[in-house]
Each structure stands twice: as structure tokens, then as C-alpha cells.
């Protein structure tokens, strides 16, 4: 798979949004690949982790998040499912699963229904080790400060808005991946 060609298709112009996406995605990919390299016992597919990390936020351009130069019409929380739809249309269903399952530390159907989130009402939890690694690595980098890596405590703090379940899952991952 040529992930750069997909990025170029949806972000053809050199602009601030493309720059933010690329910097953020590279940081997430580097952290995810470091986890893969440190933990061969997990038997994660290294190439897939790199590709998925580079594409996990491909759907942000359709969202309304002016602070990161996104001027679409959808709520930002939908960027993962939007990206999943794009990647499924491109013929990459495994990569699509990473997109739709990286919000928070994954979203359970119960959390989605309880908060009436504007995403598909189904379980959106990272299941494979690759999905978990990309989801975990993503929490250390924001798009508003894409070059700054958060501490573990800073990465955990925003997860509570999606429920305590996600915080506990993230802490468990930190013990496995850290």
C-alpha cells in the first residue's frame, strides 16, 4: 500500500491542514513503531502499523475544527468514521478499522449510546494489537501542538470525557506498551 498516494489524493494542496496532518501522523507512526520494535513478543505487523498510523486521521478535512484548519461540516468526533469510509472505498478495510477505532481509547456501544455521540451506534473498540498500538500512540500527540509529546498523565486526562472505561484501558495499555 502506498499511504502517501492516499494522503495526496485527499490533501492535494500544500497548506496548514496537510502540514498538521503529516506532522501529527509521523509522530504517531514513530511512537507506534517504537512500541512494535520494543515488543516483538506482541507480533504486531510493523508495516501495517506504519501505514495505519499515517492514515488514522485521513478524515479530518471533512470536520469542523477551525483551530486545526479543518473547515468541513461534520463534528470532529466523526473524523475516524469518516476516514474509515474513505479507506473502505479505497479498498483498505483493515486500515479503516484503525481509523474508526482510535477515538478516545476506543468507544464502546454503551459509551456511544450514553453520550448520544454522533458516530455509528456500534462498538468502536480497538481489537487487534495493531489497532491498540496506533490508538495508544495517538493519545500522546495533539494536532494543536503536533511536535510536542504529552506525558502519560497529560495523555490520560482528556480520555475521561469518554468514560472511565477508556481511562482504565489506556492505563492497561501503558503497562503493556510502555
Write down the pLDDT at residue 122.
Answer: 96
CB atoms within 10 A of CB 127: 11
Q: What is the dihedral of CA 70, 74, 80, 83, to 10 degrees?
A: -80
Provide the pLDDT confidence category of residue 130 given band limits of 50, 70 and 90.
very high
Length of the chain measured in residues: 178
DSSP letter for each residue of 24-35: HHHHHHHHHHHH
Beta-carbon contacts of residue 136 (< 8 Å; ≥ 6 apart): 32, 35, 105, 170, 173, 174, 177
Write down the pLDDT at residue 60.
Answer: 98
Q: Is the pTM of this model over 0.85?
A: yes
At 111 the three-state DSSP class reads helix
Q: Where are the domains of the chain?
A: 3-177
Name residue, grid cell 484548519.
Answer: 69
- Mean of the per-residue pLDDT values for the chain? 96
Write down the pLDDT at residue 162.
Answer: 80
Residue 82 to residue 87: CA distance in whole angstroms: 9
Provide the pLDDT confidence category of residue 39 given band limits of 50, 70 and 90.
very high
State the fold for domain 3-177.
Hypothetical protein af1432 (1.10.3210)
Amino acid at each position: 500500500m502506498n499511504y502517501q498516494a492516499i494522503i495526496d489524493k485527499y490533501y492535494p494542496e500544500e497548506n496548514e491542514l496537510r502540514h498538521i496532518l503529516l506532522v501529527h501522523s509521523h509522530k504517531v507512526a514513530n511512537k507506534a513503531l517504537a512500541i512494535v520494535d520494543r515488543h516483538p513478543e506482541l507480533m504486531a505487523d510493523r508495516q501495517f502499523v506504519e501505514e495505519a498510523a499515517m492514515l488514522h486521521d485521513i478524515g479530518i478535512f471533512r470536520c469542523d475544527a477551525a483551530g486545526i484548519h479543518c473547515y468541513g461540516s461534520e463534528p470532529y468526533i466523526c473524523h475516524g468514521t469518516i476516514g474509515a469510509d474513505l479507506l473502505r472505498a479505497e479498498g483498505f478495510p483493515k486500515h479503516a478499522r484503525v481509523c474508526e477505532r482510535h477515538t478516545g481509547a476506543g468507544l464502546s456501544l454503551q459509551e456511544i449510546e450514553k453520550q448520544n455521540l454522533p458516530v455509528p451506534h456500534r462498538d468502536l473498540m480497538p481489537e487487534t494489537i495493531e489497532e491498540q498500538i496506533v490508538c495508544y500512540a495517538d493519545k500522546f500527540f495533539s494536532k494543536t501542538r503536533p511536535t510536542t509529546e504529552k506525558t502519560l498523565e497529560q495523555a490520560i486526562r482528556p480520555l475521561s470525557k469518554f468514560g472511565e472505561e477508556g481511562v482504565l484501558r489506556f492505563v492497561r495499555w501503558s503497562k503493556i506498551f510502555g
